[in-house]
Structure 1
């Protein structure tokens, strides 16, 4: 090893959630970490952006109570989930009178919370409720697994789901979780998400909505954590080259070459494929990385007078592309952050067709959709609007998709990202889990007598001294 008697020197390329998580975990284990990020801010596809002089997230996220690795890592870097996240019971609620449904799972032990929520749900017929009960019962019997993958739409047909239930419940949940239309989305991955929501213990099925900006929620705290343990965070420093020589890794960034013992590639698949193209034995991996297809997500911010608010922190919406009504969920940012009073955020998942309109046209359509859904004409006329479209927000989560492992086959080089092999779709939890696996592989490679400790407590008394 290059650093036989010193702390393992690790470069982490990419400052998204996976990169920040890997850097924090490795720094906690005593490694000398350098985190490289091409942009001037951390967060990757879950970051803050400046819109007309105000800092807003580039998208809205909902976490689940089952996201144990993410919640544990937040505590590790000093973020209190109780303060940073609004915890709500599992729910799918449409504006009253909009033709939707109103489902809330009360705070009862599982599976009673689902049964009570089903019995009291509004907007569903008896046939809809029986279909939902049949689905959850059969899925539990199957242990939420499919031996042979298929599309979500095909699975729903096999489970005899009603057209209304598919429209009001399964379609928006599939779009929100997988960012892929049901007729193209993986039923196997969708079941894994449902296992940890509809089929989980009550607390695990809770929905957690960030109160803080995404950058403050984790990346900024992770960077401070890394630097507090002797590491370095380099913004505006894209990694442009990798080479291996004498058992070491040479990392090129901003014209400077630095030597490390190991490297975590936490860049998007297409960037990682470019970085490894000159490395021997990577043809198959590069082909796998290049094979991903992507789905966009558009988020429209609509600013109204400060007194304007919704009855709930977030609501589902009936999308209707034929009427240019593209939104699937709306968030009342003022209920999450008092500094955003009167600000609503409408989310359009799998937003390819919607993105064909101009930003102005899309914002106007979404404002009209809110006015119709809530029966409030004033919502059609915001005082300010802005649309943010993340063109490659997630990979298209299709059936039987081949996703690469964390280990590349090259000693000391691993991948981290929400696209790596997992039963989950591209979520923040998937990114953190991938980072944990990547960090574990790096530590095993370095033969360090340490393990990544449980993330359930901030340090557990097992954190080694900061790297000097």
Structure 2
């Protein structure tokens, strides 16, 4: 008889777990409290517009995400804009670093030779770092901050400002002075240090829910799984070999309770902590102690004729001059229906998100006008600031992240915060979901 498994949480981790469970023959019921699947990487609606709760970049190294997208029927070539590894700033404001499509590591060597805006000392510094990190296997015996790592390997101030700091913020959503060097090196290993295609940058052309969660839900329903949206799980209870799940919402009766052979808890750390049984007190405390880091995305709408030189550009952020933006995306180059719409991203955005939304939008528009030398960009016709306050956890040195296996039979965790080499990214969420599903199906066997 097929295992009956409840997946609590319809974000990327929960959808990945549900698909892997269904592939393994389980009878799956997915619960998502929101009415839109995707969790912290999902579609939202604002003034009749379809946006995302945050702009994301995937990497060619995201093997599990790409595998499950394709399995769910997503045409990844159409859904993702594939660009070579690059760090490109508006003309005159930074550097221009683009890796040509050559076999690794020749693509990085060629990018260094061609890079504009870097002095000879900067290029030698980057070459030394890459060579040393490759020799070390992209690993550290003892964790430290990214800033300490960069200082240890004599990285130049300009290279730190234009390359390492923005990469650290984008990947770990944690400032370099507080970010884990071990995790940062793991990201660099699977991008800079891997095959050339692994370093490709993949920018969604469709909204984040359409990119995977919606397709995953359709795939699951076709295989007999139940997908509940707008249904909140309020309690989990273990009774011997059975897990009882209590839920409320639009598609279930008040006080509904179902019986399952296992549960994958794919909610956020705080939500998961509130649902864990009392006997897991230590785990509950660890999850509740995660320090959240916000990400802010500001959407600025201009006339459809407005466009940027590139699909996305890096920006030099400097709060002292009210330049908060770190990256800007031209959504019109990704989706023709969004012509003239720019998305400005601020990672680890605590200080910026404390500003009134209209003030922050005006400052970001002024920043674009200044760095691109185009005064009309200071006057968008519409704006919307979206802050995901608990977008990720602070990925600090030596952070102890919980295993997928809770230690209770039939109860597994899934989420980007679980133990793994990656920071809180889409790929980490998907890998965690797959790991939890496989562990539950195997009965915990390793």
Q: TM-score if structure 1 supplies the norm length? A: 0.93
C-alpha contact (below 8 Å) 1:397/1:425 kept by paired residues:
yes
1:87 matched to 2:82? The reply is yes
Q: Which residue of 2 aligns with 1:16?
A: 11
Equivalenced residue count is: 440
C-alpha contact (below 8 Å) 2:237/2:277 kept by paired residues:
no
C-alpha contact (below 8 Å) 2:33/2:229 kept by paired residues:
yes
Which secondary structure does the structure 2 equivalent of 1:21 belong to? helix
Q: 1:155 aligns with which of 149, 172, 193?
A: 149
C-alpha contact (below 8 Å) 2:405/2:444 kept by paired residues:
no
Q: Distance in 1 between matches of 2:198 and 2:34?
A: 34
Q: Distance in 1 between matches of 2:240 and 2:435?
A: 26
Q: Distance in 1 between matches of 2:390 and 2:163?
A: 25
Deviation at 1:323, TM superposition (A): 1.3
Q: Which residue of 1 aligns with 2:216?
A: 222
Ranges in structure 2 where 5+ consecutive residues have no aligned partner:
249-254
Q: Distance in 2 between matches of 1:356 and 1:167?
A: 24
C-alpha contact (below 8 Å) 2:15/2:213 kept by paired residues:
yes
TM alignment of 1:329-408, pairs within 5 A: 329-408=327-406
**Could you report, residue by residue, the CA deviation over 1:395-445 in whole angstroms, capped at 9, with x for unpaired residues?**
000000000000000000000000000010001100110011001011112
1:60 matched to 2:55? The reply is yes
Q: Distance in 2 between matches of 1:41 and 1:443?
A: 27
Q: Distance in 2 between matches of 1:228 and 1:115?
A: 47
Q: Distance in 2 between matches of 1:265 and 1:87?
A: 33
Q: Which residue of 2 aligns with 1:302?
A: 300
**Could you report, residue by residue, the CA deviation over 1:77-105 in whole angstroms, capped at 9, with x for unpaired residues?**
0001111111000000000022x000000
Q: Distance in 1 between matches of 2:444 and 2:171?
A: 36
C-alpha contact (below 8 Å) 1:319/1:325 kept by paired residues:
yes
Q: Which residue of 1 aligns with 2:251?
A: none
1:42 matched to 2:42? The reply is no
Q: Flag as ranges the 4+ runs of structure 1 deviating above 2 A.
A: none
Q: Distance in 2 between matches of 1:188 and 1:29?
A: 33
Deviation at 1:290, TM superposition (A): 1.6
Across the aligned residues of Structure 1 and Structure 2, the Cα RMSD in angstroms comes to 1.1
Q: TM-score if structure 2 supplies the norm length? A: 0.97
Q: Distance in 1 between matches of 2:269 and 2:14?
A: 13
Which secondary structure does the structure 2 equivalent of 1:309 belong to? coil
Q: Which residue of 2 aligns with 1:76?
A: 71
